[in-house]
Amino acid sequence: MKNILLPMLLIAALTISCTGRNDIIQENIRHAEAQLAYLIEASEAGDTLRIPSTYKHGEIEFVPTDDWVSGFFAGTLWYMYELTGKEYYAEQAQKHTEILHDIQYLKWHHDVGFMVYDSYGNGLRLKNIPGYDTVLVNTAKSLATRFRPAAGIIQSWNTHNPAQWQAHRGWKCPVIIDNMMNLELFFKVSEMTGDDTYRKIAMSHADKTLENHYRDDFSTYHVVDYDDETGEVRRKCTAQGIADESRWARGQAWSIYGFTVAYRFTGEERYIQRAKDIADYLLINEDNMPEDMIPLWDFDVVEFANNEEEMVKLFNDKDAMLPYTEIRDVSSASIIASALYELYWYTKTELYKEKADKMIESLSKAPYRAEVGTNGGFLFKHSVGSLPHSVLNIQAGRTKDHNIDVPLNYADYYFLEALLRKGRVEKGENPIK
Ligand code: GLY
């Protein structure tokens, strides 16, 4: 009897644990379907198709096509197609992708990698739609105009237009860690065309980032300002973190994601080593992540908000950041979870999957996940765009804030991506398709 019971119990336990895992994926898909019905309807309610970015004061905000977040809603719809197999989502995704047609020619900022890869890139991968490959190639050509050979990097922001805040920071050629996210487009286009110009630019940028963006503990600076004529590093600082020496959470997220992708396309040991160093730093050091694995918007917010001298220097007000010391950033958790599933696949380090699973579990409930029918149709609450910009705006009496503790379309996008990857690794499949 004992001999029969033991295997049966084991099978039962396994079934329960597998069902449990699938349940969290299926349940999140059902939630996303219900929520996105609102957002899709809202996106179609104007004279032209609109791109939802966040929800504030009871209203959905929409962005123009040249905003850095413009590709995430199309990408969310592509992932819904992939998660459900429903053609309806592919049709919606295609419509939202094609309103971004002109972005392939945009050259005045670096974010086109995000914008076009999430939309056209996913559309090409999933439906092989004619013409999407050309859009990717043209976008890579546009982005390549921002490569600065003397410094070996892709310039993130322009600094010559006084109407833009970037012109007032004393920078010459700022590169932000977020820029690592553009490399996927370059690697893909070289793979598609056989022209390795883009791959070389991507590797040069990754190598310079490896060299210059990191502190000894593998946390990353947000901004490194280069001299584009000599290649010299002029300054290491922040734009969206609380202080130059703080650790802005989303910067850490782009950093681990970016080096994991660089490894995917190159197989270079130095890239996966950096991704592992970042992961270990983020996950093993208990001060970095709260127990539920949803980080504060800046890991060091408590310390710096209480540093009166630093706050006066930056915000001319010693108390400027005190109201913001407990705010989490769901978008960082979604990005890190998605990266960790991929990194787990390459390294088979159980800790990476365990922590990604914990993030998914925390995000699947209150206070992060929105009740169906609320939150303007976005999946998650509690993300942060840029708190320093918001504080400076509020101080200047301007009404526009930069998204404090609100839903953000990229938190939803990377969560769905993480869900897809989780499902695949649990079936023993490569999470990247
Ligand atoms: N790439 C801009 C941000 O993460 O806010």
Q: What is the pLDDT of residues 306-327, one digit of tens each?
A: 999 999 999 999 999 999 999 9
Contact 331, 249 (CB under 8 A): no
**Residue 211's pLDDT band (boundaries 50, 70, 90)?**
very high
- Summarised one tens digit per residue, pLDDT across range 130-140 is 999 999 999 99
Q: Tell me which residue has its CA closest to atom 5 in ligand 1.
A: 385
pLDDT given at position 343: 98
Q: Tell me which residue has its CA closest to atom 1 in ligand 1.
A: 178
Specify which residues 406 forms β-bridges with: 383
Q: Which atom of ligand 1 is nearest to the CA of 178?
A: 1
Q: Is the pLDDT of residue 111 over 50?
A: yes
pLDDT given at position 22: 64
What residue ranges line ligand 1, CB within 6 angstroms? 68, 178, 240, 250, 385
Residue with the bigger pLDDT between 399 and 349: it is 349
Q: Is the pLDDT of residue 253 over 90?
A: yes
Q: For domain 2-425, say whether CATH 1.50.10.10 is its number.
A: yes
**Residue 399's pLDDT band (boundaries 50, 70, 90)?**
confident
Which three-class secondary structure state does DSSP give residue 243?
coil
- Summarised one tens digit per residue, pLDDT across range 344-367 is 999 999 999 999 999 999 999 999
**Within the chain, what is the greatest distance between any pair of CA atoms?**
81
* % the chain with pLDDT above 70: 95
Report CA(178)–ligand 1 centroid distance (Å): 6
Write down the catalytic residue from 23, 67, 111, 319. Answer: 111
* % the chain with pLDDT above 90: 91
Residue 276 CA to residue 255 CA, distance in Å, equals 11
Report CA(428)–ligand 1 centroid distance (Å): 32
**Alpha-carbon distances of 211 from 134, 178, 426, rounded to whole Å:** 33, 16, 35
**Residue 287's pLDDT band (boundaries 50, 70, 90)?**
confident
DSSP letter (8 states) at residue 51: E
Mean pLDDT of 189-211: 98
**Alpha-carbon distances of 221 from 152, 161, 214, 263, 392, rounded to whole Å:** 18, 24, 6, 21, 21
Pairing of strands 59-63, 147-148: unpaired
- Alpha carbon 153 to its chain centroid, in Å, reads 20
pLDDT given at position 6: 41
**Residue 2's pLDDT band (boundaries 50, 70, 90)?**
very low
**How are strands ordered across the β-sheet holding 223-226?**
173-176, 223-226, 233-237
Has 178 been annotated as catalytic?
A: yes
Mean pLDDT of 288-315: 96
Report CA(10)–ligand 1 centroid distance (Å): 46
Q: Which atom of ligand 1 is nearest to the CA of 331?
A: 4
Q: Is the pLDDT of residue 296 over 50?
A: yes
Q: Which atom of ligand 1 is nearest to the CA of 385?
A: 5
DSSP letter (8 states) at residue 81: H
pLDDT given at position 1: 34
pLDDT given at position 400: 77
Residue 86 CA to residue 36 CA, distance in Å, equals 14
How does the average pLDDT of the chain come out, rounded? 94
Q: Is the pLDDT of residue 94 over 90?
A: yes
Write down the catalytic residue from 47, 66, 133, 178. Answer: 178
419 token code pair: 């869900």
pLDDT given at position 19: 43
Q: Give the predicted TM-score (pTM) of the model.
A: 0.94
Angle in degrees, CA 207, 359, 124, rounded to 5: 60
pLDDT given at position 365: 98
Q: Is the pLDDT of residue 248 over 50?
A: yes
Residue to substitute in 53, 179, 240, 334 for testing ligand 1 pocket (most ligand atoms within 8 angstroms of CB): 240
- Summarised one tens digit per residue, pLDDT across range 366-387 is 999 999 999 999 999 999 999 9
**Spans of all domains in the chain:** 2-425
215 token code pair: 């502190």
- Summarised one tens digit per residue, pLDDT across range 64-91 is 999 999 999 999 999 999 999 999 999 9
**Residue 401's pLDDT band (boundaries 50, 70, 90)?**
confident
Residue to substitute in 178, 179, 387, 409 for testing ligand 1 pocket (most ligand atoms within 8 angstroms of CB): 178
Residue to substitute in 67, 179, 254 for testing ligand 1 pocket (most ligand atoms within 8 angstroms of CB): 254
Q: Is the pLDDT of residue 170 over 70?
A: yes
Report CA(139)–ligand 1 centroid distance (Å): 19
